[in-house]
Amino acid sequence: MSTASEAIELPARYRRLPRVHPALRRPLAVTGAAILAIWVLVAIFAPLIAPYGPDVLGNSLSAAPSSAHIFGTDQLGRDVFSRVLYGARISLPISALLVLMSLTIGSTVGSLAGYFGGVVDGVIMRIVDLVFAFPAIILALVVTAVLGPSLQNAVLALVVVSWPTYARVVRGLVMSASQREYVQASRLLGASARQTLLRDILPNVIGPVVVLATLDFGNAILLLSGLSFLGLGAQPPTAEWGAMVSYGTQYFQDWWMSTFPGLAIFSSVLALNFLGDSLRDALDPHGSWTTRGGRR
Amino acid sequence: MALSIGIVVVSFVLTHMVPGNPALANLGQNPTPSEIRVFDQRNGLDKPLPVQLGLYFVHLLQGNLGTSQQTGDPVAHDLSMAIPATAELAITSIVIALIFGVGFGLVAALRRDGVTDFVLRILSLVGVSVPTFWLALIALYLLFFKLGIFPGGSRLSPTDTAPPHVTGMYTVDALLAGRWSTFWDALHHLLMPAMILAAANMGLLTRYTRSAVLEVMEHDYIRAAKAKGLSRRTVVFGHILRAALPSIVTVIGLAFANVMTGAVLVENIFSWPGIGQYGYQSSTTLDLPAIAGVSLFIAVVYVVVNFVVDVLYGVLDPRVRVE
C-alpha cells in the first residue's frame, strides 16, 4: 500500500531527520565526549585503577598480554597497561597546558593586531608569517635541540610554533567584529580599548577559538608524543605515551609494547577531533562537517 | 624577499643562541681546552654573533652553507644528497593523498548526509588523528614482519645498486637508465612510507574537497547543466570538480607542511636517507650549520610551494588573475 509521501522523493538534505534523542543525532560528539571523559577519569584515578605502579619492575619480562598483564609487560617487566593508564596523567594535562599557553599568547597578540591595526598589525603579522614558514616539527626540533631534550623544553618549543595559528584567527575575527556598528558606538561613547575588546568583541571571538583549541588539543598531543618518540620530549623512564612507543621499537617483535601506548594516543586524539568537528558543525552550520583553516 | 631574509636570520639566530656547546656535543667525552679552541676556530664559533651572521650571509650568497660538524662535508653537499630522497617520498605521498582525498571528498559531497558520507567523515578524522610514527610501526609489523608484503625500510634492496645519478630520485633515474627491475624495487620500497605519510593529508583533502564541492553544487549553473541534460559524468567532472579545484589547490601548501612533519618521523623509522633524517640527526648532535641549512631549505621550499599554489590558483580560477 503506497502513501502519498512516498511519491515525492526529496533530496536527502531536505528530508526530516528521524525522531531520535537529540544526543544521538550527533553520534560523533557523543562518542568523542565519552572517550575523552574516560581518559580524564583514568588520568585522575590512575593509582586506583592501575593494577601495578608505572615503574614497578615485575618478574615476567617481555611477556605477551595475559590475564595477569592484559597489555603484556616490557623488557624490564613493567606492566604496560598500568603505564598506559599513568601516561594519561602526562600527555593530557601537559597538552592542555600547551594549548592554553598558545591560546593565551596567540589571542592576546592577535587581538592587539586586529584592534589597533597599522604598524602593530604589520609587525605582528610579519612575525606570524615567519613562524608559519617553518613546519612545526622542524622548528620544534631546532628549539629542543638547542635547549636540550626534556618534556618542558618540548612544550616550550611547541608553544613557539603554535601560537601564530591563534593570532591569525583571532586577528581576523577581531577585525571583522570591530567594524560592527555597536562596537563603533561603544567606542564613540568613550569605552576604553580594554573595555571594548573584553566586553564587545570577545563574545564574537570565543566560539571559533574554542573550536580551534579543541582541534589543536589533538594536534598538541600528536606533536608532543611525536617529539617524545624522537627522544626530544619526555625522557625514559617517564611513562609518557610517545616515549613508550619509542621504547617499544627496540623490541619490535613484542608488538604490545608500542601498540597499546600508540592506541592511547590515537583514541584520545580521535576523541578530541570527533568533538571539535561536531562543535564546528554546531557553531558553523553553513560549513557542515567541513573546515577552512587549521594547521598541523 | 623580506620573508626569505627573515627566515635566514631566524634559522641562524635560533641555531646560534645556544646554551648547549657544539664543541662538547661533537668532540666526545672530555675534550682538552685546545681541542675546543681549534674546533671553535675551524667552525667560526669564536667570533661575535653579528659577525657570524654577516659571514653566514656572504657564504650563503656564494652557495656555501658551511660545513657539517657531524659528517665533515659541506652542508650544501649533504643537502643535495638528502633532498632527492625526500622529494621522491613527499611527491609520491602527496599524489596518493590527492587521488584518495579528492576522490573521497567528491563522493562524500555527492552522497551528502548518507551512510557513505558518514563513513568517509570518520575515515578523514581517523586520518588526521592517527599518530604517524605509530601507524608506521603497525604497518611495519604487519606488512613487513608478519606478511612480508613490503620491505622494511631503506630505498633499495641490498642486492640492488642505485641507478646512475640524474635526478637522485631512484624511480625516475631507474626509468631513465631503462632498468625496470630497479624501478620496481625502488617503487616497492617507496610505497609503504609514502602511503603512511599520506594518511593525514588524505583526511585533510577529503574535508576540503567535500566543502568546496558542496559550495559549488549550490550554484544555479550546476542546476542548469543538469537541466539541459548533460551526462552526470560531464556535470560532476567538467562543471563541479573543475570549479572546486581552485579551493582544493590552496590546501597543498598545508599538505606540504604536513609531509615535512611526517617525514622527520617516517624517515627515521624507515631509515630513509632524506632531509627529515638528516635534520633529526644534526639536531641531536647540535650540528649548527646543518640544522640552519635544513631549516633554511625547508622554509624556502615552503615559500616556493605557496608561490606555486598562488600561481596555480590563478591558472585554475581566471577571476583572480591580475592584469
Residues B253-275 have pLDDT tens digits of: 788 878 888 898 999 999 999 99
How far is it, in rounded angstroms, from Cα B309 to Cα B158?
A: 38
The whole-number average pLDDT for the span B15-31 is 62
What residues contact residue B13 under an 8 Å CB cut-off, 6+ apart? Answer: B49, B53
What residues contact residue B300 under an 8 Å CB cut-off, 6+ apart? Answer: B4, B7
Q: In terms of C-beta density within 10 A (0-12 exposed, 13-18 middle, 19 or more buried), how is residue B51 classed? A: exposed
Task: From chain A, pick out residues whose CB is under 8 angstroms from the CB of B199.
Answer: none
pLDDT tens digits, one per residue of B287-300: 878 888 888 888 88
Task: From chain A, pick out residues whose CB is under 8 angstroms from the CB of B222.
Answer: none
Are residues A230 and B261, on separate chains, in Cβ contact within 8 Å? no
Q: Per the domain annotation, does A245 fall within a domain?
A: yes
How far is it, in rounded angstroms, from Cα A172 to Cα A114?
A: 7
Are residues A229 and B208, on separate chains, in Cβ contact within 8 Å? no
> Using the 8-state DSSP alphabet, how is residue A287 labeled?
G
Cβ count within 10 A of residue A130: 17
Look-up: residue for cell 612510507?
B193
Residue type, A215: L
Q: Per the domain annotation, does A189 fall within a domain?
A: yes
CATH 1.10.3720.10 holds for B76-273: yes
How far is it, in rounded angstroms, from Cα A164 to Cα A172?
A: 12
Closest among A135, A133, A136, A157 to A232, alpha carbons compared: A157
Residue in chain A closest to B1 (alpha carbons) equals A130
The residues pairing with A79 across neighbouring beta strands, listed in sequence order, are: A73
How far is it, in rounded angstroms, from Cα A263 to Cα B134?
A: 8
> Using the 8-state DSSP alphabet, how is residue B271 labeled?
T
From residue A227, alpha-carbon distances to A55, B58, B131, B224 in Å are 22, 34, 11, 52
Grid coordinates of A119: 604598524
Residuewise pLDDT in 10s, chain A (296 residues): 444 445 555 555 555 555 555 555 678 889 999 999 999 999 999 889 888 888 878 777 777 888 878 888 888 888 889 999 999 999 999 999 999 999 999 999 999 898 888 898 988 888 888 887 776 777 777 777 777 788 888 898 889 888 998 999 999 888 888 888 888 888 888 888 888 888 888 888 888 888 889 889 999 999 999 999 988 888 888 889 999 999 888 888 888 888 999 999 999 999 999 998 888 877 765 444 443 333 33
Are residues A296 and B257, on separate chains, in Cβ contact within 8 Å? yes
Q: Nearest Cβ partner of A135 from B6, B208, B302? A: B302
The whole model's pTM is what? 0.84
| CA distance between the termini of chain B | 22
Task: From chain B, pick out residues whose CB is under 8 angstroms from the CB of A288.
Answer: 211, 214
Instruction: Give the number of domains in chain A.
Output: 1
How far is it, in rounded angstroms, from Cα B107 to Cα A114?
A: 39
Q: How many CA atoms lie within 13 A of B188 on its CB side?
A: 16
How far is it, in rounded angstroms, from Cα B169 to Cα B186?
A: 9
Are residues B10 and A130, on separate chains, in Cβ contact within 8 Å? yes
Are residues A288 and B214, on separate chains, in Cβ contact within 8 Å? yes
Q: Is the peptide bond before A237 cis (omega within 30 degrees of 0)?
A: yes
Task: From chain B, pick out residues whose CB is under 8 angstroms from the CB of A139.
Answer: 14, 295
Q: Per the domain annotation, does A51 fall within a domain?
A: yes
Q: Per the domain annotation, does A28 fall within a domain?
A: yes
Q: Nearest Cβ partner of A130 from B7, B134, B283? A: B7
From residue A245, alpha-carbon distances to A239, B46, B274 in Å are 10, 41, 23
Instruction: Please report, to the nearest 10 degrees, the dihedral formed by the alpha carbons of residues B251, B253, B259, B264 taken in order.
Output: -150
Q: Cβ(B265)–Cβ(B256) under 8 Å? A: no
Burial A234-267 (b: 16+ CB within 10 A, else e): beeebbbbbbbbbbbbeeeebbbbbbbbbbbbbe
Q: Cβ(B93)–Cβ(B197) under 8 Å? A: yes
How far is it, in rounded angstroms, from Cα A258 to Cα A252?
A: 8
pLDDT given at position B23: 64
Are residues A270 and B126, on separate chains, in Cβ contact within 8 Å? yes
DSSP code string of A190-203: T--HHHIIIIIIHH
CA angle A232, A108, A133 (to 5 degrees): 50
User: What residues does each domain of chain B span?
Assistant: 76-273
Residue type, A281: D
Q: Is B72 on the interface with A (CB under 8 A)?
A: no
How far is it, in rounded angstroms, from Cα A261 to Cα A84?
A: 6
How far is it, in rounded angstroms, from Cα A52 to Cα A44?
A: 16
Domain with A99 in it:
21-56+77-283
Q: Per the domain annotation, does A294 fall within a domain?
A: no
Closest among B175, B127, B181, B192 to B157, alpha carbons compared: B181
pLDDT given at position B107: 94
Work out the minimum CA distance from A152 to partner chain B, whole angstroms: 16
Closest among A70, A99, A106 to A85, alpha carbons compared: A70
Are residues B280 and A259, on separate chains, in Cβ contact within 8 Å? no
Q: How confident is the model at residue B61 (pLDDT cuts 50, 70, 90)?
A: confident
Cβ count within 10 A of residue B6: 16
